[in-house]
Structure 1
Amino acid sequence: METDSLEVTNIWATRHDSRSVAAPILLEIEELATSFNSFVICHIVRSANGPAHICAKHACTINMTESWIDSTPSLLINSLLANCSASAFIQ
């Protein structure tokens, strides 16, 4: 899993000794991840994860739960298209 939160990455690395309020959540994730052959959390820069950043910003602005089961929101389509266009120039 990639995250642009260095704090989450660091807590993951020390989750067994961490006193962070997030540590129990990461321990639960670790338990769920046992069904995979491999599971790693690594840090990436925010600019490399544009669509996820846009989704997180959107989630912080809404006052209710949104469900995208039967449709794809335009903010996600636009951010993915922009991300694909930007990565097309990376060689």
Structure 2
Amino acid sequence: MKVDCLEMVNLWNNRHNSRLIVAPILVEIGELVSYFSLFVIQHVIRSANVPAHLCAKRACTLNVMESWLEDNPGFLLTSLLADCRENAFV
């Protein structure tokens, strides 16, 4: 998983020694990802993670829950397409 929040990466990497309020959440995530053969959280610069940044920005402005089951939301479609093109040759 790639995130543009270095603090999140550090929290994840030190989750076993943490007494922070988020520690139980990180432990629960750790239990869920144990079903994967590999799970790594990596830091990337925000410009390399535009779709995730746009989703977080959108979530901060909502007063209700939104879900997208069938379609990509319009505010996100352009960045998703750009992200797919950039990663097509990786």
CA contact (8 A) 1:11 1:20 kept: no
Matched to 2:40, the amino acid is V
Per the alignment, residue 48 of structure 1 pairs with 48
Given the two structures, how large is their TM-score scaled by the length of structure 1? Answer: 0.85
Give the 4+ runs in structure 1 shifted more than 4 A: none
Q: Matches of 1:38 and 1:11 in 2, distance apart?
A: 18
The structural deviation recorded for 1:81 is 2.7
Alpha carbon RMSD of aligned pairs, Å? Answer: 2.0
Aligned length: 89
Question: Which has the bigger relative contact order, CA under 8 A and spacing at least 6?
Answer: 2
Q: Matches of 1:22 and 1:50 in 2, distance apart?
A: 25
Given the two structures, how large is their TM-score scaled by the length of structure 2? Answer: 0.86
The structural deviation recorded for 1:42 is 1.2
Per the alignment, residue 26 of structure 1 pairs with 26
Percent identity over the alignment is 54
CA contact (8 A) 1:3 1:41 kept: yes
The structural deviation recorded for 1:83 is 3.6
